[in-house]
Amino acid sequence: MTMVETLVYITLFTLVMLTVTASVQFFYKSNTYTVQQATAVTSAERGIEKMTRIIREVAYASSGAYPIVSFGANDFVFYADVDGDPFAEKVHYYISGNLLYQGVVDPSGDPPVYTGTEALSTVSEYVRNMTEGLSLFTYYDRDGAQITDYARVAEVRFVTVSVVVDVDTGTTPPAVTLRSSAALRNLK
């Protein structure tokens, strides 16, 4: 191979690599929103799946308290075993700003009490329920009638979860709404 052939190969290789690199950069610049939205939706799907699994396992507290502490349109507090130990933890799901949180309080003492601070984790980001006017939770009784009086704690038997996800509200396409539901298995 001569020096001229070597220079031609190096030049061609460099041009091909520059073209490929420019194409990838163009793709990411022009599809940044789409990639971010897809990532946010996938993350929210996983979070909601885990959340509904935990809601299905609502159980009496280790202290003997009723399984549901309180509930509201965007707030749900109940007892369930989230970590596989012999004790039920106090679980709290709520929206703050554009984040959906899970708070967990482990019982302590004998008899068990739930007085510690919540260990917080983020279930989903870019949650737009508040701006869209959609409730995070909807509750139903054993007959399938929707419960709107949040004082009727003992009647809740079924919960639906709706999460609106949108990375950038000023960009189309519109927000994605994810829905799931859970029958509270341990309530009779």
Residue 4 lies in a domain: no
Is the whole model's pTM more than 0.85, yes or no? Answer: no
pLDDT value, residue 24:
86
Residue 18 lies in a domain: no
Q: Which two tokens stand for residue 50?
A: 């885990």
Residue 85 lies in a domain: yes
Residue 96 lies in a domain: yes
β-bridge pairing 158-165 and 176-183 = antiparallel
CA 153/CA 185 separation, integer angstroms: 15
CA 141/CA 103 separation, integer angstroms: 25
Q: Domain range for residue 99?
A: 31-183
| 137-140: strand order across its sheet | 146-147, 137-140, 158-165, 176-183
Q: For residue 112, say if its preceding peptide bond is cis, omega within 30 degrees of 0.
A: no
- Rounded mean pLDDT, 89-94: 96
**Tally of domains within the chain:** 1
Q: Average pLDDT, whole number, for the chain? A: 91
Residue 3 lies in a domain: no
Residue 26 lies in a domain: no
- Rounded mean pLDDT, 12-23: 91
Span between the terminal Cα atoms of the chain, in Å: 83
Residue 5 lies in a domain: no
